[in-house]
Structure 1
Amino acid sequence: MSQRFRLITLALLLGVGAAQAAGTPPAAAPAAANGKEAPLPLDELRTFAEVLDRVKAAYVEPVDDKTLLENAIKGMLSNLDPHSAYLDPEEFADLQESTSGEFGGLGIEVGTEDGFIKVISPIDDTPAAAAGIQPGDLIVQIDGKPTKGQSMNEAVDSMRGKAGSPITLTIVRGGGKPFDVRLKRAIIKVKSVKTQLLESNYGYLRITQFQVNTGDEVVKGLAQLKKDNKGKLKGLVLDLRNNPGGVLQSAVEVADAFLTKGLIVYTKGRIANSELRFSADPADPSENVPVVVLINGGTASAAEIVSGALQDQKRAILMGTDSFGKGSVQTVLPLNNDRALKLTTALYYTPNGRSIQAQGIVPDIKVERAKVTREQSDFEGFKEADLQGHLANGNGGKDRPTQPGKAPEAAPQDSDFQLSQALSLLKGLSVSRGN
């Protein structure tokens, strides 16, 4: 991939404490939008100083200046949008650490909604996924302590801990009654790309989140699928369901693996370095294989960039349900004493100029989640060719009687309705194109 991706200072982050950080150097602090220093709001600063003085003098317990000022900064940022945040040294280190795909905790990507902590998506192969945590779940208590009013960073911090230590989350799902989920923390090692053949000629590539090396892993995954298939694929399912996003340049690299020309995404903001445009290069690791992209309500941020680019460029068919709708870009700005500011600085737009913010991506074919149940036919295992004295084939072909044998091995599409529909669509495309 081009060096231009490694020089980008913007990081597209889902607004969660366990999300990815930029894999590039943090951006420098932006200058004023018009190049001039804005006048100081003297009246408001006097009010702030007065409130600070009154709290120090009259609050029931002594509070030091550092605590008051840090709380003021956190409050200032938390009221801007759900994704801007002030990061203390530990939180900043956690954000940087998670980019590598290894961090401690439960494996839940979270946001906020009406003052509660809301699950965006569980990460594959983590305690949260194993315990059945689902996108949209509200975490109302952590170890018996209500989350109402907690900041996202506070909630995430309380869910982190030593591997093997127990934790109880109280969940509300779909407006129902609260219930407890007991888990054990673990070291979360996330492999962002997984591949396998669904059956001969049809591949499956899942991206769980966008880490620094995800673009390279996708290119390697496409090559591995071709090798496993012993030749070019006839179709590929790209699974972005419950993918909470991550690093912007990785999303661009993934989209570029399927596109040979045209715009992938552009960003617009108030500061000069937030105006960015990314276009595809001619290389085509995907070999123009037909693609169906699976999305759902847990598909967010960087995953929506890829979905939107492939949809606008008519490179793939999107199937599933509406995506999450997180279309903003956060810049990580370093501060003194190993602290940082995660600030929303731009919105991103798909090649056709769509802003996904608070709207999401609408799939080309809507397919709701459902269970697949295989029924046994009354006539299974008995055909015309099994009947004694049956007529021979009119063209002289060989008989095809029932073939005894064991049941086929279970495949992912056998229990996943959306994946099953995606595979069927790819097969239909292959037949209609004469492949």
Structure 2
Amino acid sequence: MNQSAKSYSPLQVALIGGAIATTATISLFGTAWTRGVRAALALQDSPKVIVDQVWQLVNHEYVDGKFNQQDWQATRQSLLSKDYSSREEAYTAIREALQKLGDPYTRFMDPKQFEALTSQTSGEVSGIGIRMEVNEKTQRLTVVEAIENSPALKAGIKAGDEILAIDGKPTLKMKVDDASKLIRGKAGTPIKLKLGRAGQTAFDLKLTRANIEVPTVRYTLRQEGNRRVGYIRLREFSAHAADQMQRAIRDLNTKKVDSYVLDLRGNPGGLLQASIEIARMWYNDGGIVKTVDRVGGTEETKANRTALTNRPLAVLVDGNSASASEILTGALKDNKRAVVVGGQTFGKALVQSVHELADGSGLAVTIAHYYTPAGTDINHKGIAPDIKLDLTEAQERQLASNPDLIGTKSDPQYARAIAILSNNNFAQPPANQPTRPMSRADSLKF
């Protein structure tokens, strides 16, 4: 999906993840309504406009029509009877009102928090395209990777380069977050870095910021005994995740893989529609997810004969695999398309709608409950893997300190998946289900 979350006006997305998990939905409040609110805000510049906008959205959309036994009309009267000396005071009142609903996923975001959310779910950043860390040994800000097709990679920045200064500001003892704030900026604007590289004297490098697609899918071909295994790790379901997954599967198909391992461990969620599109890449027929709204209205989403492969598949999950990860895992498990290996998943089966408010702040509202294709409610329970294998604390520490070991034989959950794929074929769909390449038109049907 090439369209970023920010391109919707008004922005409205449906959340299914613990931290992010979003997808575009149809707004109950049209563009004209939002424009009207913005016009009112411009005329009044009153925090009460935002307060009432939040109340209206919850009143129209919240999944619990009884509002957790709260008198929601009385809540509105209370909110609007107050005089707010600042927007921050109004924000506090909004959060206090929402807290009474007893739903941590229905939440208010100030403009900075909302911008961070939409940036993350869009799958894009505006900057130079590097991942960096503070090196434990040198305590210097160090490049871990220059992202594909980024200004950094095109300028020759390499893993291991030390960032000594950003626009003349020394980075010694600077935190990664602080450095990121300096590096990010509007596409087309210039930035100058002073870099240190082994065997060379420090040098300056001028770059121009750009909008960069953040890689959320990592994949590789692994030779495991006499099997060729396509290992794919999906970090989150961003707006570009489906396109990236499609490219990964297609590339691995050309390499004649015998089976796949899809790693969803630590994946907190992402775009609901991305999880649906990715599920459709793995099987041709069967359900994916069912959602139920506050009046009992149901919507079922199914596969649409656009699978890219029918090779055996194992899925790796853990307690941090949430929401969109659970939709995908539940779909693959219930359709007997994959063997699921690892720990019990997080257990979040609620769908949120996210709205951009008139002053740039945002609101997430729980609008529906979802169920796996078999009708299972996983809320507060999670998905039980077919093969339960929890990592010990020592194993978790080893993988955390040596990320290159993830998805190798030194990774116990991956190793178990490989053993299962080598010994049976139940993770492969029936041979009478042909696959066809997915077209770009398919991938953009959101």
Aligned residue in 2 for 1:220: 247
1 CA distance for matches of 2:99 and 2:132? 29
Contact 2:16/2:352, CA 8 A, preserved across alignment:
yes
Provide the identity percentage: 31
How far the C-alpha of 1:184 sits from its partner, in A, is 6.6
Aligned residue in 1 for 2:315: 293
How far the C-alpha of 1:83 sits from its partner, in A, is 1.6
In structure 2, the residue corresponding to 1:258 is in which secondary structure? coil
Give the AA of the match of 1:75.
E
* 1:68 partnered with 2:89: yes
How far the C-alpha of 1:24 sits from its partner, in A, is 6.2
How far the C-alpha of 1:167 sits from its partner, in A, is 7.5
1 CA distance for matches of 2:371 and 2:134? 32
Q: Provide closer, same or farther for how the CA distance between residues 271 and 333 of structure 1 changes in structure 2, counting only shifts above 3 A.
A: farther
How far the C-alpha of 1:23 sits from its partner, in A, is 5.1
Aligned residue in 2 for 1:177: none
Taking the TM superposition and a 5 Å limit, the aligned residue runs for 1:380-391 are none
Aligned residue in 2 for 1:100: 122
In structure 1, the residue corresponding to 2:374 is in which secondary structure? coil
Aligned residue in 1 for 2:283: 259
Q: Provide closer, same or farther for how the CA distance between residues 101 and 254 of structure 1 changes in structure 2, counting only shifts above 3 A.
A: same
Aligned residue in 2 for 1:318: 340
List per-residue Cα deviations over 1:119-168 (Å, max 9, x = no partner).
xxxxxx7759999xxxxxxxxxxxxxxxxxxxxxxxxxxxxxx9969688
Contact 2:339/2:427, CA 8 A, preserved across alignment:
no
Aligned residue in 2 for 1:361: 383
Q: Provide closer, same or farther for how the CA distance between residues 49 and 422 of structure 1 changes in structure 2, counting only shifts above 3 A.
A: closer
Contact 1:163/1:185, CA 8 A, preserved across alignment:
no
Q: Provide closer, same or farther for how the CA distance between residues 103 and 32 of structure 1 changes in structure 2, counting only shifts above 3 A.
A: closer
Aligned residue in 1 for 2:221: 197
1 CA distance for matches of 2:134 and 2:299? 36
Q: Which runs of 5+ in 2 are unaligned?
A: 30-56, 138-168, 185-211, 396-403, 432-446
How far the C-alpha of 1:411 sits from its partner, in A, is 8.9
* 1:277 partnered with 2:300: yes
2:17 to 14, 17, 32: 14
How far the C-alpha of 1:245 sits from its partner, in A, is 0.5
Contact 2:13/2:355, CA 8 A, preserved across alignment:
no
Contact 1:20/1:98, CA 8 A, preserved across alignment:
no
Contact 1:203/1:237, CA 8 A, preserved across alignment:
yes
In structure 2, the residue corresponding to 1:220 is in which secondary structure? helix
Contact 1:23/1:99, CA 8 A, preserved across alignment:
no
1 CA distance for matches of 2:384 and 2:345? 7
2 CA distance for matches of 1:238 and 1:280? 18
Give the AA of the match of 1:12.
L
Q: Which stretch of structure 1 is more off in the superposition, 94-103 or 209-218?
A: 94-103
In structure 1, the residue corresponding to 2:329 is in which secondary structure? helix
Taking the TM superposition and a 5 Å limit, the aligned residue runs for 1:301-312 are 301-312=323-334
In structure 2, the residue corresponding to 1:246 is in which secondary structure? coil
How far the C-alpha of 1:89 sits from its partner, in A, is 2.8
Q: Which stretch of structure 1 is more off in the superposition, 353-362 or 74-83?
A: 74-83
How far the C-alpha of 1:337 sits from its partner, in A, is 2.7
Give the AA of the match of 2:218.
K
In structure 2, the residue corresponding to 1:330 is in which secondary structure? strand
Q: Provide closer, same or farther for how the CA distance between residues 20 and 185 of structure 1 changes in structure 2, counting only shifts above 3 A.
A: farther
Taking the TM superposition and a 5 Å limit, the aligned residue runs for 1:29-428 are 29=57, 31=60, 52=82, 64=85, 66-79=87-100, 80-102=102-124, 127=133, 186=180, 190-199=214-223, 200-227=227-254, 229=255, 231=256, 233-270=257-294, 275-286=298-309, 288-369=310-391, 412-428=407-423
Contact 1:330/1:346, CA 8 A, preserved across alignment:
yes
2 CA distance for matches of 1:163 and 1:424? 50
Contact 2:312/2:427, CA 8 A, preserved across alignment:
no
Aligned residue in 2 for 1:382: none
How far the C-alpha of 1:64 sits from its partner, in A, is 1.3
2 CA distance for matches of 1:432 and 1:48? 54
Aligned residue in 2 for 1:147: none
Contact 2:336/2:426, CA 8 A, preserved across alignment:
no
In structure 2, the residue corresponding to 1:11 is in which secondary structure? strand
Give the AA of the match of 1:278.
T
List per-residue Cα deviations over 1:305-346 (Å, max 9, x = no partner).
000000111111101010111111110133323333211111
2 CA distance for matches of 1:166 and 1:369? 34
How far the C-alpha of 1:248 sits from its partner, in A, is 0.2
In structure 2, the residue corresponding to 1:238 is in which secondary structure? strand
Q: Which has the higher contact order (CA 8 A, sep 6+)?
A: 2
How far the C-alpha of 1:412 sits from its partner, in A, is 4.1
Give the AA of the match of 2:123.
G
TM-score, length of structure 2 as denominator length: 0.60
How far the C-alpha of 1:95 sits from its partner, in A, is 1.9
List per-residue Cα deviations over 1:372-429 (Å, max 9, x = no partner).
8xxxxxxxxxxxxxxxxxxxxxxxxxxxxxxxxxxxx989423211101111111112
Give the AA of the match of 2:122.
S
1 CA distance for matches of 2:301 and 2:386? 24
- The count of corresponding residues between Structure 1 and Structure 2 is 314
In structure 2, the residue corresponding to 1:265 is in which secondary structure? strand
2 CA distance for matches of 1:298 and 1:414? 22
Contact 1:218/1:254, CA 8 A, preserved across alignment:
yes
Q: Provide closer, same or farther for how the CA distance between residues 25 and 217 of structure 1 changes in structure 2, counting only shifts above 3 A.
A: farther
Contact 1:27/1:332, CA 8 A, preserved across alignment:
no
In structure 2, the residue corresponding to 1:332 is in which secondary structure? strand
How far the C-alpha of 1:193 sits from its partner, in A, is 0.8
Aligned residue in 2 for 1:404: none
Larger Rg: 1
Q: What's the RMSD between the two structures over aligned residues?
A: 4.3
